[in-house]
Amino acid sequence: MASPSFTAPGVLLVDKSPGLTSHDVVSRLRRILSTRRVGHAGTLDPLATGLLVMGINGATRLLTFFVGLDKTYTATIRLGESTTTDDAEGEGLGRAPREQLARVTDADIESAVATLTGDIMQVPSSVSAIKVEGKRAYARVREGEAVALEPRPVTVSRFDITAVHRTDDGIDIDAVVDCSSGTYIRALARDLGFRLGVGGHLTALRRTRVGPFDIADALVLDDSLAADVATSSTVARLRDPAAAAGRIFPTWQLTADEDVHLRHGRVAQLAAPGEGRFAAISPEGRLRGLVDVRAERVRILFNMSQESP
């Protein structure tokens, strides 16, 4: 049975399964909801699992403003071997001798982690999606090029070691990381191994939070569901754009007259409630758009008045 046409805008939290690309999730939602207008705020590698913030129809316009939110990850780092991709999918670049690993103490690990916490300069992984002269870095690496990316500032506000497992082959570290957007956890794994002199790479990664959105509220897309059941369960988990935007930005509750002025772009007629960025909410509780206020001048970032039902 084909899914019914779906037109309402909304934000959906999805728990991505391992092996899927972020685009796989987009394609699956397009099929379930019978709409092409599906996007996500921040890619997860196929190896990784966890939270993807999805926009449906008109709510895709919100995604640009969600990409820069801070994030939380749980990760497992293997000390003792570096790889070409800084994760388990790459080719090994050599193992540290067992006696060298045996000399790495828990205190050494904690000390090295401390150097990777706070405001740091991080060199992204060479297989990142960063563009180098118009082409993705990972594409250049796959073509055999040596890619050297420039360090960039990131913030790692928490890097907590939750467990250390020692084996004959290496040291597995379980960790929780709170970080700014643009932080590469695989690069943290690489740099931790480098600081300890034994090499390191990422073996597991799960994103559990994006800004105020938590994995506990996310939907797992199940291939075994019939189309009508999948559509119903997905629609039931959609978040209203006004509620989603209101978790990120202060809200501006528009009067009826202000609502009309905003819908028609008459910003000179608007008296903003303060300075900064606001989610403008209609008298009926719908998201009309996002506005930016500087020196009492209102600038419309985008207007959803013609897209919300």
Clarify whether residues 61 and 75 are in a common domain.
no
One domain, residues 93 and 192 = yes
With respect to residue 147, please indicate whether it lies within any of the assigned structural domains: yes
Q: Which pLDDT value is given to residue 1?
A: 40
Q: Extract the tokens encoding 108.
A: 């050494």
Average pLDDT, the chain: 87
* pLDDT surpasses 60 at 227: no
Say which residue, 258 or 6, is predicted with more confidence: 258
Specify whether 172 is catalytic: no
CATH of the domain at 282: 2.30.130.10
Decide if 2 is inside a domain.
no
CATH number for the domain that contains residue 190: 3.30.2350.10
Q: Per the structure block, which two tokens stand in for 177?
A: 């990381």
Find, among 181, 178, 217, the residue nearest to 66 by Cα.
181
The alpha carbons of the chain give a radius of gyration, in whole angstroms, of 23
Task: Determine which one of 15, 24, 45, 292 is catalytic.
Answer: 45
pLDDT the model gives residue 37: 92
92-101, 145-154, 170-179, 292-301: range with lowest mean pLDDT: 145-154
Residue 137: domain span: 71-210
Contact 144, 104 (CB under 8 A): no
Question: Which pTM was predicted?
Answer: 0.88
Within a domain: 5? no
- Quick: pLDDT tens for 193-209: 999 999 999 999 999 99
Cα 96 to chain center, whole Å?
Answer: 33
Tell me, what's the pLDDT at 272? Answer: 82
Dump the DSSP string for 216-280. GGPBPP-TTS-HHHHHHHHHHTPBPHHHHHHTTS-EEE--HHHHHHHHTT-GGG---SSSEEEEE
pLDDT average, residue stretch 223-228: 54
Number of domains into which the chain is organized? 3
Residue 54 has phi, psi (to 5 degrees) of -105, 145
76/206 same-domain check:
yes
Low-confidence winner among 28-32, 218-222, 257-261 (lowest mean pLDDT): 218-222
The contacts of residue 16 (CB under 8 Å, 6+ apart) are 22, 25, 44, 48, 49, 50, 51, 52
pLDDT at position 168 over 60:
yes
Residue 187 lies in a domain: yes
pLDDT at position 47 is 85
- Judged against a pLDDT cut of 60, whether residue 94 lies above it is answered with yes
Give the domain-ending residue among 210, 228, 261. Answer: 210
Q: Count Cβ atoms below 10 Å from residue 21 Cβ, excluding itself.
A: 13
Decide if pLDDT at 127 tops 70: no
Same domain, 256 and 275: yes
Residue whose tokens read 């405001």: 119
